[in-house]
C-alpha cells in the first residue's frame, strides 16, 4: 500500500511538473541561419546596410532577433527586408531607442513558404552600430508569431522530430516514442508494486 502511495506521489509530481513546463508560454523560434554569435561581423557608422544572400527563411516567421552593439547608446532604427526571386517576401522595422543587445524586429510576411532569400538589415542612426555573428555572417534568428506554450507547439515539434533521421512514421514518430516510454513506465511501475510488496 505504501509503495503504491509512493508511486502515486511520484506520478502526481510528474504530472504537476509536466503541466507547468508544457503550459509555459514564450516566444518560440521558427529557425535561424545557423550562424554563431561569436563576434562582430559588421561595424556600421551612422546609416548603412548589411545584406546576406541564400538565407533560409522559415514559413512560420513574423519576427527576427538580431544582436546589436552600440557602446551603451540607444539602438538606431532597424529595417529588415527579405527578397526572393526579385520579390519582397518579408519586411519590417523597429524604431530607435532600445537598449543595446538582442532586439526583435517585427516583420510582415508576404508569402508563407519556406524559402531562401536575400536578407538586408538597414541601420539608420548616429554613432557606430555593431552586428554580431561569425565567419563574416550576422546571426538571424527567426521567431514564430506571438507567444506559445509547448502544447501549442506540439504539431511543429512532432513534424521536426521526424526530420533528419530514419523515420517511416512521419509526424507519428514522436507519439510512438511517447508510447514506448509510457510502456517502460508502466512496466517499471508494475515491477515496483510486485517486487517491493512487503
Partner 1 sequence: MRRIPAAARWCALVALANALVWSLVTPPFHVPDETVHVAYLQHLAETGRIPNKPGATVFSAEEAGVLDALRFNAVVGSARDRTVSTEAQQRGVETAERAVRSRVSGGGTAESSSQPPLFYAYESIGYLASPWRGLLERVWLMRLMSALLCSATVLFTYLFLRELFTSEPWAWTVGALAVAFQPLFGFTASGITPDSLFFAASAALLWALARAFRHGLTPERGAVIGAALAVGVLTKLNFLPLLPGALLGIALLVWRERRRPALRRAMIGAAWACGIAATAAGVYVALNLLVWDRTAWGGGVGVAARTAAGTGSHAAAAVTFADQLSYTWQLYLPRLPFMSSEFFHYPGWETWYRGFIGEFGWLDTTFDLWVYRVSLVVTIPLVVLAAVALWRRRATLRERLPEILTYGTLVLGILVSIGVLGLRYRRSTGFEFEQARYILPFLPLYAAAVAAAAIGAGRRFARPVGALLVTLAAVHGLFAQLLVISRFYG
C-beta closer to partner 1: residue 2 or 53: 2
Determine if 163 is a binding residue for partner 1 (CB under 8 A): yes
The residue from 35, 41, 90, 143 that contacts partner 1 (CB under 8 A) is 35
**Nearest distance, CB of residue 65 and partner 1, angstroms:** 9
Residues contacting 38, CB < 8 A, separation 6+? 132, 133, 134
Closest CA to 37 of 71, 57, 60, 65: 65
Size of site (CB under 8 A) for partner 1: 53
Task: Name the segment binding partner 1 (CB under 8 A); options: 69-77, 91-99, 118-126, 160-168.
Answer: 160-168
Kindly tell me which residue out of 79, 118, 153, 172 binds partner 1, with binding defined by CB under 8 A. Answer: 153
**Whole-angstrom Cα distance, residue 113 to residue 28?**
18
The set of residues, in sequence order, having a beta carbon less than 8 Å from that of 187 and lying 6+ positions away, is none
> Per-residue x/- mask for partner 1, residues 58 to 97, rule CB under 8 A?
xx--------------------------------------
| Angstrom distances, CA of residue 140 to CA of 26, 130, 152 | 19, 14, 24
Amino acid at each position: 500500500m505504501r509503495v503504491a502511495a509512493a508511486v502515486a506521489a511520484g506520478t502526481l509530481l510528474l504530472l504537476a511538473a509536466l503541466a507547468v513546463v508544457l503550459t509555459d508560454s514564450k516566444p518560440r523560434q521558427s529557425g535561424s541561419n545557423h550562424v554563431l554569435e561569436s563576434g562582430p561581423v559588421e561595424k556600421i557608422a551612422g546609416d548603412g546596410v548589411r545584406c546576406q544572400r541564400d538565407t533560409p527563411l522559415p514559413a512560420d516567421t513574423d519576427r527576427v532577433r538580431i544582436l546589436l552593439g552600440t557602446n551603451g547608446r540607444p539602438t538606431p532604427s532597424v529595417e529588415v527586408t527579405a527578397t526572393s526571386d526579385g520579390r519582397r517576401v518579408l519586411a519590417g522595422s523597429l524604431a530607435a531607442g532600445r537598449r543595446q543587445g538582442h532586439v526583435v524586429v517585427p516583420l510582415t510576411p508576404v508569402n508563407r513558404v519556406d524559402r531562401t532569400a536575400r536578407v538586408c538589415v538597414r541601420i539608420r542612426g548616429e554613432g557606430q552600430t555593431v552586428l554580431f555573428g561569425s565567419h563574416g555572417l550576422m546571426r538571424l534568428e527567426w521567431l514564430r508569431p506571438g507567444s506559445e506554450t509547448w502544447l501549442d507547439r506540439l504539431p511543429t515539434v512532432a513534424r521536426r522530430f521526424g526530420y533528419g533521421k530514419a523515420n517511416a512514421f512521419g509526424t507519428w514518430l514522436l507519439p510512438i516514442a511517447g508510447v514506448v516510454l509510457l510502456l517502460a513506465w508502466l512496466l517499471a511501475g508494475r515491477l515496483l508494486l510486485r517486487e517491493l510488496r512487503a
